[in-house]
Amino acid sequence: MTRYRMTVEYDGTGYVGWQRQQNGPSIQAALEEAVFAYSGETVRVFGAGRTDAGVHALGQVAHVDLAGAGDADTLRSAVNAHLRNQRISVVEAEEVDDGFDARFSATRRIYLYRILNRRPPPALDRGQVWHVGPPLDAEAMDRAAQRLVGHHDFTTFRASECQAKSPVKTLDLLEVRRVGDEIRVTAEARSFLHRQVRNMVGTLERVGAGRRSADDVAAALEARDRAAGGPTAPACGLCLTAVSYD
Amino acid sequence: MTRYRMTVEYDGTGYVGWQRQQNGPSIQAALEEAVFAYSGETVRVFGAGRTDAGVHALGQVAHVDLAGAGDADTLRSAVNAHLRNQRISVVEAEEVDDGFDARFSATRRIYLYRILNRRPPPALDRGQVWHVGPPLDAEAMDRAAQRLVGHHDFTTFRASECQAKSPVKTLDLLEVRRVGDEIRVTAEARSFLHRQVRNMVGTLERVGAGRRSADDVAAALEARDRAAGGPTAPACGLCLTAVSYD
């Protein structure tokens, strides 16, 4: 068996998320079917981040084992040919050793959350940004974000269906920057709880709107209670931009 | 009557182009219908650039006359509400004097053409870039582009159905830059011939691929013959980014 690492880009619109599910098309199933169409092998594709329905990726990383060891570039091209009608593209593929695990070897996940902050709705970026009409104070959002950085119990920002053993995580970076009409929130950590980024962004948006203070955010974190956090930001604004390995 | 200037963003995918036509949905008709839905007035919306089917805009400019003079911001919001199911958004609206004509008062049109130059196809930017797999030499493309800048007879880059009185235009800027996997071609002029940008980009792509030289491009321009030019680049890579007025 040869293990391959693949970097995958996708538009999450219309998919039930990364993970194979009964109720609709998933990225994982589309990749597994494309690998099967090329190789004739029924495989399992393992991803670094189980992105939710509607969440995008520029740099999802996955691994797959194949018995008929072929060239990684050929695998990439062939899988992409079979993904022609999907909004999924394998941007890189390479052979890796058996010790590599896309999910468990990952040392850092980087997410970008895009808010389009202007009155008119998006046209070209529809489905790839969260449209917030009223003006947001990005600097206030960034100041509040700094209260979340570090090693904390993130229960307040954890989805009820989260399966992680512990709610304690280390958030290495949470940065809010305005770029024209857009507010970009970058989040980096070894791993995140389920919906953690969207729950943090939904809370920071309330700060940007002047409805909560940085102290309120710090108190919400302390409360270790999902009810103390703000609403969940929509999936469409979120993109898994990169996954790092040592 | 009050004249309004509107700046319009749209994803051209699935539209027959700016101009109202019998054979499918156009941006112009969608805007006219949205204005009618708000105002009850049957209007004509005039655009600065008659973009082709599949061509996008971030900064198309249009004007419209309305008898029931309302606030420009209200017009913008109301029209956007009626465009909810379209990939069209009015990003700005303002009252202008009767002398303003979106098409004839324009002094500069700026287009961006995006080429995704990597083997794997696009996922997130599908429909907004031209995917060219083999590596292109952006610097060679830029050097060739400079041979087209200036006051010339652009017959070589003019669509046969072009209705302009003269093929002589002044091309103020044609710049080719690589940004990561993307090659961005920016074109600026008071006005362009029909398909001029796409025909120039299709020719420059041949230069990037090493199939034509900068001298070949200069000779093609001199030939004043469409057959001397390269193929027409696909519509999906093109975006009307801005229109300027004195």
- pLDDT beyond 80 at A69: no
DSSP per residue, A115-130: EE-SSSPPSTTTTSSE
Please compute the mean of the pLDDT values over residues B156-163 and round it to a whole number. Answer: 90
Coil vs helix vs strand at B212 = coil
Please compute the mean of the pLDDT values over residues B140-152 and round it to a whole number. Answer: 98
- pLDDT beyond 80 at B102: yes
> What is the C-alpha separation between B240 and B242, in angstroms, rounded?
6
The closest of B186, B199, B187 to B234, measured between CA atoms, is B199
Q: Does any domain span residue A101?
A: no
pLDDT of residue B229: 94
- A46 and A164 co-located in one domain: no
Cross-chain residue pair A120–B92, CB shorter than 8 Å:
yes
- Cβ–Cβ under 8 Å, residues B46 and B63: yes
User: Which is more confidently placed, A151 or A246?
Assistant: A151
Nearest CA in chain B to A90: B120
> For residue A25, with 0-12 CB atoms within 10 Å meaning exposed, 13-18 middle and 19 or more buried, which class applies?
middle
Please compute the mean of the pLDDT values over residues A149-173 and round it to a whole number. Answer: 94
Q: Which of B46, B77, B96 is the last residue of a domain?
A: B96
Q: What is the CATH number of the domain that holds B152?
A: 3.30.70.660
> What is the C-alpha separation between A18 and A51, in angstroms, rounded?
5
ipTM of the complex, rounded to two decimals: 0.88
Q: Which residues of A touch B91 (CB under 8 A)?
A: 118, 120
Instruction: Give the angle B178-B213-B221 at the CA atoms, nearest 5°.
Output: 100
Coil vs helix vs strand at B41 = coil
Which residue among the candidates A11, A52, A142, A172 is catalytic per the annotation?
A: A52
Q: Residue B163: which pLDDT band, with cuts at 50, 70 and 90?
A: confident
- pLDDT beyond 90 at A160: no
Tokens standing for B95? 């009252």
- A135 and A214 co-located in one domain: yes
The closest of A89, A29, A245, A104 to B125, measured between CA atoms, is A89
Please compute the mean of the pLDDT values over residues A70-87 and round it to a whole number. Answer: 95
- Cβ–Cβ under 8 Å, residues A199 and A185: no
The overall longest dimension of chain A from CA atoms, in Å, is: 58
Q: Mutate which of A124, A126, A131, A241 to disrupt the B interface (most B C-beta within 10 Å)? A: A124
The total of other beta-carbon atoms located within 10 Å of residue A154's CB is: 25
Please compute the mean of the pLDDT values over residues A24-34 and round it to a whole number. Answer: 97
- B91 and B115 co-located in one domain: no
Q: Which residues of B touch A9 (CB under 8 A)?
A: 120, 122-124
Q: Residue B105: which pLDDT band, with cuts at 50, 70 and 90?
A: very high
Convert the pLDDT of each residue in A91-149 to its tens digit: 999 999 999 999 999 999 999 999 999 999 999 999 999 999 999 999 999 999 999 99
Please compute the mean of the pLDDT values over residues B101-130 and round it to a whole number. Answer: 97
pLDDT > 70: percent of chain B: 100
Range of the domain at B213: 107-245
- A125 and A83 co-located in one domain: no
Number of domains in chain B: 2
- A27 and A89 co-located in one domain: yes
> What is the C-alpha separation between A243 and A103, in angstroms, rounded?
9
pTM for this model (two decimals): 0.93
Please compute the mean of the pLDDT values over residues B179-191 and round it to a whole number. Answer: 97
Residues of B with CB under 8 A from a CB of A: 9-11, 56, 58, 73, 76-77, 80, 84, 87-92, 118-124, 126, 128, 239
> What is the C-alpha separation between B2 and B9, in angstroms, rounded?
22
- B74 and B127 co-located in one domain: no
Q: Which of B64, B96, B128 is the last residue of a domain?
A: B96
Nearest CA in chain A to B88: A123
**Distance from B131 to chain A by nearest Cα, in Å?**
12
State the number of CA atoms in the 13 A half-sphere of A176 facing the CB: 27
The total of other beta-carbon atoms located within 10 Å of residue A89's CB is: 26
Q: Which of B96, B130, B157 is the last residue of a domain?
A: B96
- A125 and A192 co-located in one domain: yes
Q: Which residues of B touch A80 (CB under 8 A)?
A: 120-121
- Cβ–Cβ under 8 Å, residues B228 and B125: no
> For residue A29, with 0-12 CB atoms within 10 Å meaning exposed, 13-18 middle and 19 or more buried, which class applies?
middle
- A84 and A116 co-located in one domain: no
Q: Residue B246: which pLDDT band, with cuts at 50, 70 and 90?
A: confident
Q: Does any domain span residue A17?
A: yes
- B65 and B138 co-located in one domain: no
Instruction: Give the angle B58-A138-B75 at the CA atoms, nearest 5°.
Output: 40
Q: Does any domain span residue B37?
A: yes
Tokens standing for A37? 């169409």
> What is the C-alpha separation between B19 and B160, in angstroms, rounded?
18
Q: Does any domain span residue A102?
A: no
Single-letter residue type at B240: L
Tokens standing for A81? 């040919």
**Distance from A216 to chain B by nearest Cα, in Å?**
33
- pLDDT beyond 90 at A68: no
Cross-chain residue pair A119–B9, CB shorter than 8 Å:
no
- A76 and A198 co-located in one domain: no
Give the one of A56, A89, A123 whose C-beta lies nearest to B87's C-beta.
A123
pLDDT of residue A161: 85
Please compute the mean of the pLDDT values over residues B130-149 and round it to a whole number. Answer: 98
Cross-chain residue pair B76–A119, CB shorter than 8 Å:
yes
pLDDT of residue B161: 85
Q: Does any domain span residue B14?
A: yes
pLDDT of residue A64: 97
Residue B80 sits at φ, ψ, to 5 deg, of -60, -35
Give residue B73's Cα distance to chain centre: 25
- A153 and A50 co-located in one domain: no
Which residue among the candidates B52, B142, B153, B216 is catalytic per the annotation?
A: B52
Q: Which residues of A touch B88 (CB under 8 A)?
A: 123
> What is the C-alpha separation between B166 and B147, in angstroms, rounded?
20
The closest of B159, B222, B214, B223 to B192, measured between CA atoms, is B159
Q: Does any domain span residue A163?
A: yes
- pLDDT beyond 80 at B81: yes
- Cβ–Cβ under 8 Å, residues A95 and A112: no
Tokens standing for A84? 């022609």
Query: Which element (helix H / strand E) includes A171?
Result: strand A168-179
- A92 and A116 co-located in one domain: no
Place of tokens 């710049």: B175
- pLDDT beyond 80 at B69: no
Q: Does any domain span residue B101?
A: no
Single-letter residue type at A112: L
Task: Give yes or no: A52 in active site.
Answer: yes
> What is the C-alpha separation between A7 and A112, in angstroms, rounded?
17
- Cβ–Cβ under 8 Å, residues B118 and B133: yes
Place of tokens 């956090």: A229
> What is the C-alpha separation between B84 and A121, in angstroms, rounded?
9
Convert the pLDDT of each residue in B2-52 to its tens digit: 999 999 999 999 999 999 999 999 999 999 999 999 999 999 999 999 999
Coil vs helix vs strand at A208 = helix
- Cβ–Cβ under 8 Å, residues B243 and B60: yes
Helix B214-223 / helix B138-146 crossing angle, nearest 10 deg: 40
Q: What is the CATH number of the domain that holds B20?
A: 3.30.70.580
